[in-house]
Structure 1
Amino acid sequence: MKKARIAYGGAIHEAIEWEGQLKLNDGRLVEESKVTWLTPIEPRTVFALGLNYADHAAELAFAAPSEPLVFLKGPNTFIGHQAYTRRPSDVTYMHYECELAVIIGDTARNVKKEDAYNYVKGYSVANDYAIRDYLENYYRPNLRVKNRDTGTPFGPWIVEAADVADPMNLKLTTHVNNKLVQEGTTADMIFDIPTLIEYLSSFMTLSENDVILTGTPKGSVNTAVGDVVVTEVEGIGRLVNTIIGDESFIYR
């Protein structure tokens, strides 16, 4: 089942996909184009993986890491489907990153890999934009790279874990202005989902609605104001986002 959070009629609703429409909890059917999409959950602690695909590490001229490279993201960065991401006017290289998002469903501590999927609530899609101008290095991404307001579209759906037969064999694609620019598969992750859950829970407690962003394959290229970016994970969802410039923001 695909679930979403949306704003409609002056209220926030949970909804499910229903024959090309959205079915609200109160039974009403509404068109997808008539709602404001929110993130499918309210993210708690968010863990993001760097260099978790060998082809992406090679693309950046880095050796594949020997243990997970993890950094944290604040909730301020997340926006929903069909929303706008700001590209600062002073940057020269800002790129998308299509990622499978893993949403934790239960308190997890010292979880073994063979039990890890028992702690997954579901899966979603994230587009974790990065600005290379601000990067210190790929092993220590600084706050401006990965914690900017509007920098991470997330959604539109959460797909229940039971409905995803093999999360480690899903195709990922990114289209910019209808042109295919990135393609990969979760099968190429260096550290798979059970390994990541075992690793993180070995030194900290994971809680419901914590999120693991599992990294991106090769193919990250520069984008521009006005670009429409579509990141998609097979069976999970199609996330649409538009890049806008500083002129769209009012300073006070």
Structure 2
Amino acid sequence: MKLLRYGKVGAEKPGLLDADGKIRDLSGVIADVNGSTLSPASLRKLAKIDPATLPLARGRPRLGACVARPLNFVCIGLNYADHAAETGAPIPKEPIVFLKALSAYHGPNDDVKMPRGSKKMDWEVELGVVIGTTARYVPEADAMKHVAGYCVINDVSEREFQAERGGTWDKGKGCDTFGPTGPWMVTKDEVKDPQNLRMWLDVDGKRMQDGSTKTMIFNVQQIVSYVSHFITLQAGDVIATGTPPGVGLGKKPKPVFLKVGQTMHLGIEGLGEQMQTVVAA
């Protein structure tokens, strides 16, 4: 099942994508795609609905972030061995956890704003994990019980802000629009192996990232368990699990960064695609 949210900013309706790729309106069934929608019982109930009985959305509506604004937008840094190598960073011994500001949470195809003073804006295609039930001090063996599904995330980053402006990552990760999420959440029953998904990102039609979740250092099960020992994960929370190689910072012989007017196009096998244009803030 592919759950989504569509409509104008701030007025999105819940929906699902049917087998023909058409959006079906779920607003007569649920209020939103949020924490209360994502419990196992709720998802089982939604899965029993025949999409043909739901109204079709009109035209080609804008897609919002696939899950309503989470309480926690968690990210994992340097979680791909080949990405760590390209940036010259050592392999982490434990997951690197940081939070992305909720003002970064954004529709999958909406414009991404280049912050004022930005010189080193970068891209990162990432597998997103959507939490379905509260996770607190969860052992690894039980971690997947708390996962509702998966989505695509672009962990947009400003490298100078991140690494050269005081030593914390948050300033380079939490700028407005820096977290496009969607186009939809695919429930975990439809993702056979989250550790074997091809992922890619193009800038202006040129392939920059072409990787796989196979090269994750810490897998989804380990990440959910680990994070739950430091942050209580709530239903509807989203975790961005790291990026494969090919980011602008790692390009040789010198880094390449985004410019206003450029377009990012990215996707993950079975989870859909995003496209954003860079605009000035």
Give the alignment's TM-score, normalised by structure 1: 0.90
Which residue of 2 is the match for residue 208 of structure 1? 235
Q: Distance in 2 between matches of 1:234 and 1:111?
A: 28
Q: Residue 114 of structure 1 corresponds to which residue in structure 2? A: 141
Residue 96 of structure 1 corresponds to: 123
C-alpha distance in structure 2 between counterparts of 1:143 and 1:7, whole Å: 30
Change (3 A) 1:67 1:103: same
Q: Which amino acid aligns with 1:6?
A: Y
C-alpha change, 1:245 and 1:56, in structure 2 (3 Å) is: same
**In structure 2, C-alpha distance between the alignment counterparts of 1:122 and 1:180, rounded to whole Å:** 27
State the shift of 1:45 in Å: 0.6
Q: Is the 8 A contact 1:21 1:31 kept in 2?
A: no
Which residue is 1:240 aligned to? Answer: 275
Q: State the secondary structure of the residue aligned to 1:117.
A: helix
RMSD value, Cα: 1.9
- Provide closer, same or farther for how the CA distance between residues 60 and 3 of structure 1 changes in structure 2, counting only shifts above 3 A: same
Higher strand share: 1
**What letter is aligned with 2:119?**
T
Aligned equivalents of 2:131 and 2:121: distance in 1? Answer: 29
Alignment counterpart, residue 225 of structure 1, candidates 224, 242, 260: 260
| Alpha-carbon shift at residue 31 of structure 1 (Å) | 5.4
Matched ranges for 1:45-124 at <5 A: 45-124=72-151
> Could you tell me which residue of structure 2 aligns to residue 40 of structure 1?
66
Q: 1:185 aligns with which of 187, 212, 231?
A: 212
SS in structure 2 of the partner of residue 216 of structure 1? coil
CA separation of 1:124/1:63 partners in 2, compared to 1, >3 Å: closer, same or farther? same
One-letter amino acid of the structure 2 residue matched with residue 3 of structure 1: L
- Asked if 1:20 is matched to 2:46, the reply is no
CA contact 2:97–2:227 (8 Å) conserved in 1: no
SS in 2 for 1:29: coil
Residue aligning to 1:249: none
Aligned residue pairs, count: 243
* Preserved contact between residue 224 and residue 243 of structure 1 (Cα < 8 Å): yes
Aligned partners of 1:178, 1:128: CA distance in 2, in Å?
19
Larger deviation: 213-222 or 17-26?
A: 17-26
Equivalent runs, 1:87-166 vs 2, <5 Å: 87-136=114-163, 141-166=168-193
Paired letter, 2:190: D
2:268 maps to a residue whose letter is: V
- The residue type equivalent to 1:62 in the other structure is A
Q: Which residue pairs with 2:35 in the alignment?
A: none
**Distance (whole Å) between structure 2 residues aligned to residue 74 and residue 88 of structure 1:** 14
- Aligned to 2:199, the other structure's residue is in SS state strand
In structure 2, distance between residues paired with 1:84 and 1:62: 31
> Aligned partner of 2:4: which letter?
A
Task: Answer yes or no: is 1:6 the counterpart of 2:36.
Answer: no
Structure-1 separation of matches of 2:84 and 2:90: 6
Instruction: Give the partner amino acid of 2:117.
Output: D
Q: CA deviation at 1:58?
A: 1.0
